[in-house]
Amino acid sequence: MFNPPASRRDLLMRLPGIAGLACAWLFGSEREGRADREAQLPLPHFEPTARRVLYLFQSGAPSQLDLFDPKPGLEPRRATELPDSIRQGQRLTGMTSKQSSFPVAPSRYAFARHGSSGAWISELLPHTARIADELCFVRSMHTEAINHDPAVTFFQTGAQLAGRPSMGSWLSYGLGSENQNLPAFVAMVSIGTGNPNDQPLYDRLWGSGFLPSRYQGVKFRSQGDPVLHLSNPPGIDGRLRRLMLDDLVALNQQRFEQEHDPEIATRIAQYELAFRMQSSVPELTDLTDEPEHVFELYGPDSRKPGSYAANCLLARRLLERGVRFVQLFHRGWDQHLNLPKQITGQCLDTDQPSAALIHDLRQRGLLDDTLVVWGGEFGRTVYCQGTLTAENYGRDHHPRCFTIWMSGGGIRPGITYGETDDYSYNIVRDPVHVHDLHATMLHCLGIDHTRLTYRYQGRDFRLTDVHGRVIRDLLKS
Q: Domain total for the chain?
A: 1
Average pLDDT over residues 426-452: 98
Helix (H) or strand (E) holding 404: strand 402-407
Give pLDDT, residue 26.
47
pLDDT band at 63 (very low <50, low <70, confident <90, very high): very high
Among 4-13, 58-67, 170-179, name the one with the lowest average pLDDT.
4-13
If pLDDT is split at 50, 70 and 90, which confidence band does 10 have? low
Q: Is 278 contained in some domain? A: no
pLDDT at residue number 134: 98
Residue 452, C-beta contacts closer than 8 angstroms, at least 6 positions apart: 41, 43, 170, 173, 174, 442, 462, 463
- Type of residue numbered 200: P
252/230 Cα distance (integer angstroms): 21
Residue 65 placed within a domain: yes
Domain membership of residue 313 (yes or no) is yes
Amino acid at 425: Y
The pLDDT of residue 15? 55
Kindly state whether residue 243 falls inside one of the protein's structural domains: no
136 within domain boundaries:
yes
Q: What is the pLDDT of residues 97-138, one digit of tens each?
A: 999 999 999 999 999 999 999 999 999 999 999 999 999 999
Q: What is the dihedral of CA 387, 391, 396, 397, to 10 degrees?
A: 180
- pLDDT > 90: what percent of the chain? 72
Neighbour tally for 189: CB within 10 Å:
23
| pLDDT of res. 182 | 87
Q: Does 242 fall in a domain?
A: no
Q: Between residues 394 and 244, which one has the greater pLDDT?
A: 394
Domain that holds residue 170: 25-227+290-474
267 belongs to a structural domain: no
> Is pLDDT of 32 > 50?
no
The SS3 call for residue 134 is helix
Confidence of residue 21 (pLDDT cuts 50, 70, 90): very low
Residue partners of 234: CB distance under 8 A and separation at least 6: none
The predicted pLDDT at position 123 comes to 98
* pLDDT surpasses 70 at 70: yes
Residue 152 lies in a domain: yes
Decide if 121 contacts 132 (C-beta within 8 A): yes
The model's pTM is: 0.87
Q: What is the pLDDT of residue 224?
A: 64
CATH of the domain at 383: 3.40.720.10
